[in-house]
Chains A and B, each alone.
Chain A
Amino acid sequence: MTATANGVALELRDVGKEYPGGVHALRHVSVDIQTGDQVAVVGPSGSGKTTMLTILGTLERPTSGEVHVAGRNVVKASDRDLAGLRAFEIGFVFQGFHLQDGMTALDNVANGMLYTGARLRERREAAKGALERVGLGNRVTHRPPQLSGGEKQRVAIARAIAKNPTIILADEPTGNLDSKSGQSVLELLQELAAEGATLALITHDESIAAGFPRRLQMRDGEIVGDERR
C-alpha cells in the first residue's frame, strides 16, 4: 500500500501484446500514471485502448515488457496474487454494465466484494453506503431491468467503488448512455475518484476526454500523444 500512497499507481514499461494470429494490439507502450491522477485514453476503435486497460487491470498479461500495478509486478505475480489485487485495489466499470438481472441493486453491489472474504452483512452495509454515494439510496431493492441506463451504470459504479479501490478503470462507461446521463455518470466518476483513487477512463469521444487533466492519445497500438492541462 505504501508504495502507492504517493508515487506511481500504474506503470507500463515497453509493453507489447500480441494475440494469436499475429495481431499486435500493443507495441512498445511505456507510461506512468501517478497516484490520484485522472487520465482519459482516447483513440479510434482498434487502437489498443481496451487491451491497455485490461493489462492495467491485470486481467491479461503482456507478451513483453513490464507492468507494475499498485506497486506489484504483474508479470511475475501468480493468478492468485493478481486476483487479490483486483479484489481489493481495482474497481472496473464497463460499457455493458455487467449487472446480474436476477439480483437487487444492493446485492449486485455487495457481490462486487464477494472475493474480498468480507461477510455478507459487511458487504451489504458497504454496498448501501456506495449506492447512497452514487445517488441511488432509493433504488436499493430495485433489480436492473427496473432501472434506466444511467441508473444501471451508477449501480455498476457503486459496485466498483464500494470496496474503496485505489484504482478505478472504466471502459467507455458512457458508451451506452444518452449524453445527459452520460455527462452525470462522468461527473460522478471523477468526483468519486477525486476522493482518493487513480482513474483511467477509455473513450473515443474527444469532448469527454477534454474534461480530463491528462489525455493519452492512442493509434495502432502505440501512444502517440500525452497531453496535460
Chain B
Amino acid sequence: MSATALRRRGLPPPERGGGRETARLAPHELLGVALQGLRTRRLRAALSALGIAIGIGAMVAVVGVSASSQANLLSTIDRLGTNLLTVTPGTNFFGANEVLPSTAIPMIKHMASINQVSAVYAVPNANVFRTPFVPSTQTGGIGVDATDPGLVKAMNSSVASGHFFDAASETEPTVVLGAAAAADLQIEKATGHIQLFVGGTWFTVIGILNSMTLDTSLDDNVFIGLPAAEHIFRVQPSPSEIYVRANVNDVKSVSSLLAPTADPQNSSGVSVSQPSNVLEARAAAKGQFTTLLLGLGAVALLVGAIGIANIMVISVLERRGEIGLRRALGATRRHISAQFLAESALLAALGGICGLLFGAVATWVYSIGQNEPWVVPVYALIAAPAAGLAIGAIAGLYPAAKAARLSPTEALRST
C-alpha cells in the first residue's frame, strides 16, 4: 500500500497538504495543555498559587477595609450634613481670647439663607457633682454649658434617654447630660428622679444625649437652659460657640459673611469653621494610610512571584522527558516556552482569584465587626486576577526560556 493510500485513513488531507506543513498549536489547545500540566500536579500548584493568593488577598483586604471605613465616614458626613458652620471667638493679636458680642446671635438670625441658629454659653466656675459631699476639687473635667432648645437639632444628634429642653424646662433647674459626661457620672437613664449638684444648686436630670459627632467636645459637658443659668447663677454669659445651619447651596457665601455679621467691629476676632471638613479630612487620611499597607502587600506578592518562578524552574527540570517528547511530536521551541508561560500565568491568575475571595471575606468579617458597610472596590475585581496573570507571566519568563532551550535528546534519554 502506498503512503498516499494510507493517508486517507489518517488525518484529513487539508491539514497536511502542500509539503510545507508547519507545526501549530491553537490558543485553546495551549490552554488545555497548561491546565493538564497543573492538574497532574495539584498539590504543588495549589501551594504555589497560595503565595500569590496571600499577597493579593492582603492587598484586597487593605483596600477593602479602608474603603469600608471611608464609606462609613462619608455616610456619617452625609447623615450629619455638611451645612453646619461653627462660629467661635478667636484669639487676638496678643493671643488672648476674644469674646463674641451679645448681639452676635440676633445679627446672625437676620442673615439670609440661614435655617437654624443655636449656641452654647460656657457657665464660668460651675462644676458638677453627684452629691455635695464630693470634694470640690474632684470636678471630673465636666463643664457646664447653657444652651437653647435648638441645639440637638442643629447638631443632628438625638436624645438617648428622657428629653431635651423645651420652653418650660429651660427656665427650671433641669440638666441634660452629654454622652461622655453621663458615662463619667455613671448615669444610664434619665428617669426624672436623679439629681445633680451643679454649681451649688440641685438640678434634675431630664435627658441624656447621644454623641454629637460633628463636635464631640460637647459630649463631655452637661447642659442647662439659658434662662435658668441667667436667673440661678445670675450671670450674663456670652456665646462660646454658635452653630449655624445654612442652606446647602449657600454654605460658602454664608461662611464668608458670618464673621463680619457676628462682630462688625472686630470681624478678625471671630473664627468660622465647617466641622464636616474635619471628618472629610479624616476619610482622606485613611486613604493615605492604605498606601503603606499596600506596599506591604506588594512585598508579599513579590515573595509569591519568586515562589512561582522557583517552582516552575524545578518543574522544567523534572519534566525534561515530557519536553523532549513534545519536541519529538512536533512542538517548536516557542510552543514549549508558551506552554510553561501559560502554566505560570494560569497558576498566578488562579492565585489572584483566590486572593480576591480571601480579601473580600476578610473585609466582610471586618466590616461586620466594625458595623461598617461592606465595600470591595470594583477595580479590585478586575485588578486582582489581572495582577496575578501579569505576575505569573513575568515569573514564568525565565523557566519558559529555560524549557525552550533544553535539548530534546537529553530529555528523551531519561527513561
Select which of A5, A102, A163, A171 is within 8 A of B3 by beta carbon.
A5
In-complex Cβ contact of B329 among A51, A103, A115, A122 (8 A): A115
Within 8 A of B (CB), among A147-198: 162-164, 166, 171, 176, 195-197
Question: Given A88-B330, A102-B39, A122-B11, A196 and B21 touching (CB < 8 A)?
Answer: no
Instruction: Mark out the residues of chain B between 11 and 60 whose CB falls within 8 Å of any chain A CB in the assembled complex.
Output: 11-12, 15-16, 19-26, 29, 33, 36, 39-40
With CB as the reference atom, state the residue of chain B lying closest to A169: B328
With both chains docked as a complex, state the minimum distance between the C-beta of A222 and any C-beta of chain B, in angstroms.
20
Cβ–Cβ contact B414 & A196, under 8 A: no
CB 8 Å contact bits of A70-99 with B (1 = contact, 0 = none): 010000000111011111101010111010
Q: Are B415 and A88 in contact (CB under 8 A)?
A: no
Please tell me if the beta carbons of B39 and A83 are within 8 angstroms of each other in the complex.
Answer: no
| Inter-chain pairs besides A100-B322, A164-B6, 10 sampled, C-beta below 8 Å | A50-B413, A54-B409, A59-B408, A59-B412, A80-B23, A80-B332, A84-B330, A86-B330, A115-B332, A115-B335
Asked whether A5 lies within 8 Å of B329 as measured between CB atoms, the reply is no
CB-CB < 8 A to B6: which residues of A? Answer: 164, 195-197
Is residue B236 within 8 Å, beta carbon to beta carbon, of the partner chain?
no
- In angstroms, Cα B334 to Cα A196, docked, is 32
Q: Which residues of B contact A85 (CB under 8 A)?
A: 21, 330
When the two chains form the complex, which single residue of B4, B10, B16, B412 contacts A5, counting CB atoms closer than 8 Å?
A: B4
Known interface pairs A96-B415, A118-B15, A163-B10; A5-B2 also in contact (CB < 8 Å): yes
Q: Does B407 contact A (CB under 8 A)?
A: yes
Whole-angstrom distance between the Cβ of A130 and the nearest chain B Cβ? 9
Contact (Cβ within 8 A) B3 A114? no
Tell me whether A164 and B9 are in contact (CB under 8 A): yes
Taken together as a complex, chains A and B put the C-alpha atoms of A60 and B33 apart, in Å, by 25
A164 CA to B1 CA, complexed, in Å = 12
- Report the nearest B residue to A36, measured CB to CB: B3
A214 to B88, CA, bound (A): 111
Do the beta carbons of A196 and B29 come within 8 Å of each other? Answer: no
A64 within 8 A of B: no
Is A59's CB under 8 angstroms from B2's CB?
no
Q: How far is the CA of A81 from the CA of B332 in the complex (A)?
A: 9
Closest 5 CB pairs of A and B: A87-B330, A96-B415, A117-B24, A164-B10, A115-B330
Q: Select A118's contact among B12, B39, B326, B408, beta carbons within 8 Å.
A: B12
A171 to chain B, nearest CB (A): 8
A67 within 8 A of B: no
Interchain CB contact under 8 A, B5 and A196: yes
Q: How many chain B residues touch A (Cβ–Cβ < 8 Å)? A: 47
The chain A residue sitting closest to B18, CB to CB, is: A1
Interface status of A112 (Cβ within 8 A of chain B): yes
Contact, CB under 8 Å: B330 / A83: yes
* Chain A residue at minimum C-beta to C-beta distance from B3: A196
Residues of B within 8 A of A (CB): 1-7, 9-12, 15-16, 19-26, 29, 33, 36, 39-40, 321-322, 324-335, 407-409, 412-415
Q: Are A80 and B10 in contact (CB under 8 A)?
A: no
Instruction: Write out the residue numbers on chain A whose beta carbons fall within 8 Å of the beta carbon of B325.
Output: 94, 98
Please list 11 pairs of residues, one from A and one from B, whose beta carbons are closer than 8 Å in the complex, sorted by A's number.
A54-B412, A71-B19, A81-B22, A84-B22, A86-B329, A92-B328, A96-B412, A103-B36, A114-B326, A122-B12, A129-B9
Nearest chain A residue, comparing its CB with the CB of B28: A120
Q: Tell whether, in the assembled complex, residue A164 and residue B7 are in contact, meaning their CB atoms are under 8 Å apart.
A: yes
Q: Which residues on the A side are within 8 Å of B39 (C-beta)?
A: 102
Distance A161 CA – B171 CA, assembled complex (angstroms): 107
Contact of A114 among B4, B29, B409 (CB under 8 A): B29
Tell me, yes or no, whether A138 is within 8 Å of chain B by CB. no
Query: Which residues of the other chain, A, contact B321 by a CB distance below 8 angstroms?
Result: 96, 98
Closest A residue to B32 using CB positions? A120
Are A115 and B1 neighbours in the complex by a CB distance under 8 Å?
no
Could you say which of A54, A98, A112, A129 has the most chain B C-beta atoms within 10 Å of its C-beta? A98
B7 partner residues in chain A, CB cutoff 8 A: 164
> Is A116 an interface position by the 8 A CB rule?
yes
Q: Which of B2, B328, B409, B413 touches A196 (beta carbons < 8 Å)?
A: B2
Contacts A95-B415, A96-B321 given; does A164 touch B11 at CB 8 Å: yes
Specify the chain A residue showing the minimal Cβ separation from B5. Answer: A196
Distance in Å: Cβ of B38 to nearest Cβ of chain A: 11
Query: Which A-chain residue is minimally distant from B332 (CB atoms)?
Result: A83
Is A57 part of the binding interface, using a Cβ–Cβ cutoff of 8 Å?
yes
CA distance A5 to B1 in the complex (A): 12
A113, CB-defined interface residue at 8 Å:
yes
| Contact status of A86 and B24, CB under 8 A, knowing A54-B409, A126-B11, A196-B1 | no
B403 to chain A, nearest CB (A): 14
